[in-house]
Amino acid sequence: MSYRVHYQIYIKTNINLNRTVKNLFLIISTIFIAANIFGQSETNDISRDKAFYQVTNNWFSAWELVSKEIYKIDKISAVEFVFFDDKFVYSTSSITIKTGAQVKGCNLMNLTFKWKKAIHNDTIVLPDNSKVPIGLMSFAGEISHKKGKSFFVMPLLSYWQASGTESKELGLENLITGVFVHEFSHSQQMQNFGKKITEFEKQNHFGVDFNDDIVQNLFEKEASYLKLYSEEVNLFYQSTKNQIINKDLVKQGIKLLNQRHTQYFEGKYMNLQQIDNLFLTMEGLGQYSMHLWLTHPKGGNLGTNIAIDGVRRNKYWWSQDEGFALFLILEKLSNPENWAKNMFGCKSENIIDLIIKKLK
């Protein structure tokens, strides 16, 4: 737009100039236009860098709040970050950005980072050397060639805003901060649940992608299965309605869960019981961690019921929705600092076993 405006002014005001003067004026105008466009671009990029710093600082503070004040965990395992907007990728990984401009970024708890940025041209190389197109995605993965290290990928807030993402219960910024807290929790589970997932994936082949939605993808069209699943989930959420947990409803829910497992997870699906419990634990902990930040006075500072509605969203994803209910139950049976360290450590206790132990 700047070039067209200046060019039109030049034509209107200099139509009688001789050729030499015209050419000189055109050169000067072009230099001015280029400088103007460059200046605007540079200002816009600085604004992007500030937005990157501010948003990631908020996200890191959210995790630190949940980790230190509730879980009583003051250290995190090594992780490499990959954030992006519609133009730049910002990363701590030398694989994601081999050569790029240094940029001011945040540290997280016991980890210190060197941040760089580069233009991504709609494709990002992840720290595990895989390539992905940019899009609405947020996930953690294992860096197989770096023992004990994970990576974390997520679009910056401006990208979510441009996508039209919203939450009437939470508001967009609270929702996306919650998404960060949920997904970042997985980056801290590579030494326990991550290893289990790798083992199960190698040992089992069910004809669908091996991920946290595997049970849903296999059984969501089976009406009798869906009925059992829905009844147990409703019982679990009902048991948490009051300040004191309704243990009878919890026991009824677990009875239905065991019935579902026995009835449907047989033959080639035998190992799905362990796999279901694993993903209920992982996804439930992610949802619960999100809930903790949303309801904390120093975090989202939202009412419990509003936060629960916002975390459950459309209630569509089974492992997230039921897993969340199970952690709301465990919270009422035992203080999180009693079990959180194992969840983010080397042990892979599942949520069902923990609840059964606490019910005795």
Which pLDDT score, from 0 to 100, does residue 360 have? 80
Q: Could you give the CA distance from residue 88 to residue 120 in angstroms, rounded to a whole number?
A: 6
Query: Considering only CA atoms, which of 298, 271, 281 is closest in space to residue 351?
Result: 281
The CA-atom distances, in angstroms, between 141 and each of 146, 151, 183, 208 are 12, 5, 10, 20
**Cα 4 → chain centroid:** 43
pLDDT at 40: 57
Best CA proximity match to 237, nearest among 349, 325, 355, 114:
325
Segments making up each domain of the chain, as ranges: 45-187, 190-359
| Predicted local distance difference test score (pLDDT) of residue 39 | 53
Rounded average pLDDT per 10-residue block, the chain, 360 residues: 24 30 37 46 83 98 98 95 98 96 96 97 96 94 80 97 93 96 92 76 83 93 96 98 96 97 94 93 96 98 96 93 98 94 82 93
Query: Residue 9: what pLDDT?
Result: 24
Burial label for 329, CB within 10 Å (0-12, 13-18, 19+), is buried
On whether the CB atoms of residues 105 and 115 are closer than 8 A, the answer is yes
Specify the pLDDT at position 292.
98
Residue 56, both tokens: 């990631």
* Cβ atoms 51, 87 nearer than 8 A: no
The residue behind tokens 């139950």 is: 329
SS3 category, 88: strand
Grouping H, G, I as helix, E, B as strand and the rest as coil, residue 203 is: helix
- Rounded CA-CA distance 64/38 in Å is 39
- The Cα–Cα gap between 30 and 24 comes to 10
Choose among 331, 267, 66: nearest CA to 354: 331
- Cβ neighbours, 10 Å, residue 268: 11
> In Å, how far from its chain's centre is CA 330?
23
User: Structure tokens of 302?
Assistant: 């939202």
Prediction pTM value:
0.85
Query: What gap in Å lies between CA 197 and CA 190, rounded to an integer?
Result: 9
Encoded tokens for 194: 């991550």
Selection from 313, 320, 311, 309 nearest residue 293 by Cα: 311
DSSP state of 285: H
